[in-house]
């Protein structure tokens, strides 16, 4: 993959996380008081955006597969920028909600489009480039408070929406001007003239496969669905819980907010950088065995975290989050290994929706579990059990030698 488009894909990953995280924070701290909204009313306004952030993924992936991945990235940059600017000019809570809803729709484009573009174009460096891309996403979350504070100080809450929106649109225009030759317009026209081509190729190839290979494919799809939901649940629960867990379990810093915040940030930084290691490993070892080997370290780490405090807690919790986040490039490539290539973006869209949807369970488990027990031991034991399920499910995936056969349909010549 050329450096130019890859750099835009990495920056796009940062933008996706910055926009969703920053907008939630700013409307909670500044916009809600501006219009006299309660926290509950705020949640009602932002909920549709979060719903579309997940549910829009399959449609975005389908459009990328049917039309153009680079074209959808242009839509992502320009759409999220224009929606952000519209939100910045909102003159009522309803208009604010509409703007955020549109932001959620366009934000849903990145993961099912950007990640498959890297997988398809990175050659034998897929793992490394996915790892770097993941670090950009983590860095976006890390710099969000800094960007938000600076824009609030300079131009108020409207600047938080308008300035990043202008930047996103500018990136979209430059991306389109530099890489518009990548748009497979002839393929789009051909598919428009013969819309059944992809489905016919799929069915013809499916019927030509031996029964055993078709069973392997269906088994892989079911298992990958289970793994997606389970790993998404663990990811959402642990990463969202870092600040509160550190505050509760690390007593050696007393009530020093700076040191506690720095510790939480340090854990997230280490876990984000672990994606570089995960990416390098993904390029060197068989994916299924590597995924199992890495994730097998999570249950004992979480079990240890259930009763650890202070420095031991920091150590084992950092290890646990590093496994969960650092495993992302491995998980992305393992998923692609079993997917039909010409429906890769659609599959990633469904995967993203399933993974994000697991937050519906993760966040109540995190909060209500603490309310009922006064601690996070239940969370750690529960996530350790889920991690065991992930490892057992991965063991049932078709072996490496069968993976190409399991991915029943590869891109047909000329498509």
The residue among 193, 214, 239 that closes a domain is 193
Q: Per-residue pLDDT averaged across 389-401, rounded?
A: 84
Q: Per-residue pLDDT averaged across 56-64, rounded?
A: 89
Q: Per-residue pLDDT averaged across 66-82, rounded?
A: 91
User: Do 224 and 345 fall within a single domain?
Assistant: yes
Q: pLDDT digit string (tens) for 200-232?
A: 555 555 555 556 666 777 788 889 889 999 998
Residue 411 has pLDDT above 50, yes or no: no
User: Do 104 and 218 fall within a single domain?
Assistant: no
Residue 75 has pLDDT above 70, yes or no: yes
Residue 387 corresponds to which tokens in the numbers above? 């991690």
Percent above pLDDT 70 for the chain: 84
The residue among 173, 193, 213 that closes a domain is 193
Q: Per-residue pLDDT averaged across 303-326, rounded?
A: 93
The residue among 193, 215, 248 that closes a domain is 193
Residue 237 has pLDDT above 80, yes or no: yes
> Mean pLDDT for the chain?
82
Residue 97 pLDDT: 87
Using a cut of 0.75, tell me whether the model's pTM lies above it: yes
Residue 71 has pLDDT above 60, yes or no: yes
User: Does residue 414 fall inside a structural domain?
Assistant: no
Minimal CA–CA distance to 403: which of 342, 338, 347, 344?
338
Residue 138 pLDDT: 85
User: Do 161 and 284 fall within a single domain?
Assistant: no
Q: Per-residue pLDDT averaged across 278-287, rounded?
A: 92
Give the pLDDT band of residue 408 (cuts 50, 70, 90): very low
User: Do 209 and 155 fall within a single domain?
Assistant: no
User: Do 311 and 214 fall within a single domain?
Assistant: yes
Question: Bigger pLDDT: 214 or 190?
Answer: 214
Give the pLDDT band of residue 406 (cuts 50, 70, 90): very low
User: Do 171 and 272 fall within a single domain?
Assistant: no
User: Does residue 198 fall inside a structural domain?
Assistant: no
Give the pLDDT band of residue 405 (cuts 50, 70, 90): very low
User: Do 334 and 309 fall within a single domain?
Assistant: yes
User: Does residue 154 fall inside a structural domain?
Assistant: yes
User: Does residue 200 fall inside a structural domain?
Assistant: no
What is the three-state SS of the chain?
Answer: CCHHHHHHHHHHHHHHHHHHHHHHHHHHHHHHHHHCCCHHHHHHHHHHHHHHHHHHHHHHHHHHHHCCHHHHHHHHHHHHHHHHHHHHCCCCHHHHHHHHHHHHHHHCCHHHHHHHHHHHHCHHHHHHHHHHHHHHHHHHHHHHHHHHHHHHHHHCHHHHHHHHHHHHHHHHHHHHHHHHHHCCHHHHHHHHHCCCHHHHHHHHHHHHCCHHHHHHHHHHHHHHHHHHHHHHHHHHHHHHHHHHHHHHHCCCCCCCHHHHHHHHHHHHHHHHHHHHHHHHHHHHCCHHHHHHHHHCCHHHHHHHHCCCCHHHHHHHHHHHHHHHHHCHHHHHHHHHHHCCHHHHHHHHHHHHHHHHHCHHHHHHHHHHHHHHHCCCHHHHHHHHHHHHHHHHHHHCCCCHHHHHHHCCCCCCCCC
User: Does residue 384 fall inside a structural domain?
Assistant: yes
Residue 193 has pLDDT above 90, yes or no: no
Residue 187 pLDDT: 43
Residue 59 has pLDDT above 60, yes or no: yes
CATH number at residue 62: 1.20.1250.20
Residue 402 has pLDDT above 70, yes or no: no
User: Do 111 and 209 fall within a single domain?
Assistant: no
Give the pLDDT band of residue 195 (cuts 50, 70, 90): very low
User: Do 188 and 243 fall within a single domain?
Assistant: no
Question: Bigger pLDDT: 168 or 146?
Answer: 168
User: Does residue 199 fall inside a structural domain?
Assistant: no
User: Do 169 and 237 fall within a single domain?
Assistant: no
Domain that holds residue 330: 205-406
Minimal CA–CA distance to 302: which of 222, 391, 172, 220?
391
Minimal CA–CA distance to 215: which of 369, 223, 126?
223
Residue 301 pLDDT: 95
φ/ψ of residue 352, rounded to 5: -65, -40
Q: Give the other-Cβ count within 10 Å of 312's Cβ.
A: 13
Number of domains the chain is built from:
2
Question: Bigger pLDDT: 210 or 92?
Answer: 92
Percent above pLDDT 90 for the chain: 33
Q: Per-residue pLDDT averaged across 2-16, rounded?
A: 84
Residue 3 has pLDDT above 70, yes or no: no
User: Does residue 415 fall inside a structural domain?
Assistant: no
Give the pLDDT band of residue 346 (cuts 50, 70, 90): confident
Give the pLDDT band of residue 182 (cuts 50, 70, 90): low
User: Do 181 and 229 fall within a single domain?
Assistant: no
The mean-pLDDT minimum among 17-21, 166-170, 288-292, 362-366 falls in: 362-366
User: Do 134 and 274 fall within a single domain?
Assistant: no
Per-range mean pLDDT, top range of 68-82, 120-134, 171-185, 400-414: 68-82
User: Does residue 132 fall inside a structural domain?
Assistant: yes
């Amino acid at each position: 993959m050329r450096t130019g488009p890859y750099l835009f894909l990495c920056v796009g990953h940062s933008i996706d996380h910055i926009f969703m995280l920053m907008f939630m924070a700013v409307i909670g701290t500044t916009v809600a008081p501006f219009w006299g909204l309660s926290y509950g009313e705020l949640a009602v306004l932002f909920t549709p955006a979060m719903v579309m952030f997940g549910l829009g993924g399959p449609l975005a992936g389908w459009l990328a597969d049917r039309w153009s991945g680079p074209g959808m990235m242009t839509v992502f940059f320009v759409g999220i920028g224009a929606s952000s600017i519209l939100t910045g000019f909102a003159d009522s809570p309803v208009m604010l909600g509409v703007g955020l809803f549109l932001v959620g729709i366009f934000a849903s484009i990145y993961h099912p489009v950007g990640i498959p573009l890297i997988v398809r174009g990175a050659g034998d460096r897929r793992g490394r480039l996915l790892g770097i891309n993941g670090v950009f996403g983590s860095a976006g979350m890390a710099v969000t408070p800094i960007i938000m504070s600076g824009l609030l100080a300079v131009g108020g809450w409207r600047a938080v929406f308008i300035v990043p929106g202008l930047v996103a649109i500018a990136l979209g225009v430059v991306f389109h001007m530099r890489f518009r030759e990548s748009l497979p317009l002839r393929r789009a026209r051909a598919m428009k003239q013969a819309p059944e081509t992809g489905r016919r190729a799929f069915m013809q190839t499916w019927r030509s496969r031996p029964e055993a290979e078709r069973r392997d494919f269906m088994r892989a799809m079911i298992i990958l669905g289970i793994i997606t939901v389970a790993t998404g649940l663990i990811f959402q629960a642990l990463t969202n819980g870092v600040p509160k867990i550190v505050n509760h379990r690390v007593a050696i810093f007393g009530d020093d907010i700076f040191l506690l915040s720095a510790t939480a940030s340090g854990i997230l930084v280490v876990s984000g950088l672990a994606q570089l290691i995960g990416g390098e490993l993904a390029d060197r070892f068989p994916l299924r065995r590597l995924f199992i080997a890495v994730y097998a370290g999570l249950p004992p780490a979480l079990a240890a975290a259930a009763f650890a405090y202070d420095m031991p807690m920091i150590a084992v919790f950092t290890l646990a989050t590093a496994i969960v986040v650092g495993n992302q490039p491995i998980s992305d490539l393992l998923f692609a290994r079993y997917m039909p290539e010409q429906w890769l973006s659609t599959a990633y869209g469904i995967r993203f929706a399933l993974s994000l949807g697991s937050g519906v369970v993760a966040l109540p488990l995190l909060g209500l579990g603490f309310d009922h027990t006064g601690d996070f031991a239940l969370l750690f034991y529960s996530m350790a059990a889920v991690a065991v399920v992930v490892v057992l499910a991965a063991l049932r995936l078709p072996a490496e030698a069968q993976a190409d056969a399991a991915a029943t349909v590869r891109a047909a010549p000329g498509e």
